[in-house]
Amino acid sequence: MNWIIAVTAVLVSLAVAGAAAVALRDPPPGLSRLVIATGGVGGVYFNYGQGIANAARAAYPDATAITVRETAASVANLGLIAEGQADVGFTLADSAALAVRGEAPFVGPQPITALARLYDNYTQLVVRAQSPVAELEDLKGKPVSTGAPDSGTELVAARLLGLVGLQPDRDVTRHRLDLAESVRALEDGRIAAFFFSGGLPTAAIADLARRTPIRLVNLGRFVTAMRAKYGEFYSELPVPAFVYGLVADVATVGVPNYLVVSSRMPEAEAYALTRLLFEAKATLVAAHPEARRLNRRAAISTYPVPLHPGAARYYREVKP
């Protein structure tokens, strides 16, 4: 009799495990199509997005349309999600704040919710190692790339320049270039500096540093003013010297990255995507090391963007 009970228990456990496997590979409604809005090639968003796509393809092999979309990043991604042209996207907290509050460039509050806080971006003001630009104020009158139009880089660059009385369209020769274009322009001598907001290491900047000696301008002294004027999501973060072969660590302005979806996304789909992030973390880390920073405790801190109910349900279920 005992062996019958034992065999029955094993069969039940196998059935449960099999049901779980089927559930994982059975896409919730809508997940057969997944458009991931990322950023420019060479940036963390794009590589991280590739990792999410790889994880989704492995978990849902019957899904036929899992796409990584190259974009101008934060602001553009929010618009794509609000308009239904993307299902999930990366954005910065400061850009997302404008969307949920309905502030320019958005017209009215946007239907944006969060799945997770992912990692922090570092605002990187890059110049050649021998550049005379030592402080933010030294950019006056010089050719500068403030990032691609509708990017989070462009937003934070304009805010920082404004703190020292510089208007991007008046006081510098403004170039609105994406990361790859900014790198080429600095190498070619067409610009004196470029801004980029991204995780560490930013592959395109690391590649640049291997070819051309570079330096980052210290922006740490502006954190207090940025927090007071724009929001408490800004923080001071150090860029370690070893990341780009710098002489010393450089303080800069940090801002969190969120993975966001429309508030109209079905709860089951948002739950499945949130679960996938953590269950396939190794796949994400293989795509970019910033994915190592993903953890459940920090993931729920998405101020001022509310968590999607599906994501909130996942975090409640796994809460210790």
pLDDT, one tens digit per residue, over 223-275 is 999 999 999 999 999 999 999 999 999 999 999 999 999 999 999 999 999 99
Domain 2-119+257-318 is found in CATH 3.40.50.720: no
CA atoms within a 13 Å half-sphere pointing along the CA-CB vector of 319: 8
pLDDT > 70? residue 5: no
Pairing of strands 235-239, 250-262: antiparallel
What is the mean pLDDT of the segment spanning 300-318?
97
Cis before residue 266, ω within 30 degrees of 0? no
pTM of the model: 0.84
Indicate the domain borders of the chain.
2-119+257-318, 121-256
Category of 165 on φ-ψ map: left (φ > 0), alpha (ψ -120 to 50) or beta: left
Average pLDDT over residues 270-294: 96
Mean pLDDT of 107-124: 97
Distance CA 94, CA 223 (A): 13
Question: Predicted confidence band at 41 (pLDDT cuts at 50, 70, 90)?
Answer: confident
Cis preceding-peptide flag for 28 (omega within 30 of 0): no
pLDDT in tens, 183-237: 999 999 999 999 999 989 898 999 999 999 999 999 999 999 999 999 999 999 9
CB-based contact 43:73 (threshold 8 Å): yes
Q: What pLDDT, on a 0 to 100 scale, did the predictor assign at position 23?
A: 40
pLDDT at 14 over 90: no
**Which tops the pLDDT comparison, 10 or 53?**
53
How far apart, in whole angstroms, are the C-alpha atoms of residue 80 and residue 56?
20
**Do 119 and 199 touch, CB atoms closer than 8 A?**
yes
Q: How do beta strands 112-128 and 143-145 pair? A: unpaired
Confidence at 17, pLDDT banded by 50, 70, 90? very low
Q: Is the pLDDT of residue 118 over 70?
A: yes
Of all residues in the chain, what percent carry a pLDDT higher than 70? 90
pLDDT digits (tens, 9 = 90+) for 141-194: 999 999 999 899 999 999 999 999 999 999 999 999 999 999 999 999 999 999
* Distance, CA of 303 to CA of 259 (rounded, Å): 12
pLDDT classification of 28: cutoffs 50, 70, 90: low
Can the peptide bond before residue 143 be classed as cis, meaning omega within 30 degrees of 0?
no
Q: Given 2.30.110.10, 3.20.20.60, 3.40.190.10, 3.60.21.10, which CATH number is that of 121-256?
A: 3.40.190.10
Under DSSP, the state recorded for 103 is -
Write out the two tokens for 213: 């000696």
Q: What is the pLDDT of residue 29?
A: 56
Domains 2-119+257-318 and 121-256 share a fold: yes
pLDDT of 119 reads 96
Q: What are phi and psi of 21, to 5 degrees?
A: -65, -40
Q: What is the pLDDT of residue 27?
A: 58
Say which range, 32-36, 47-51, 181-185, 307-311, has the weakest mean pLDDT: 32-36
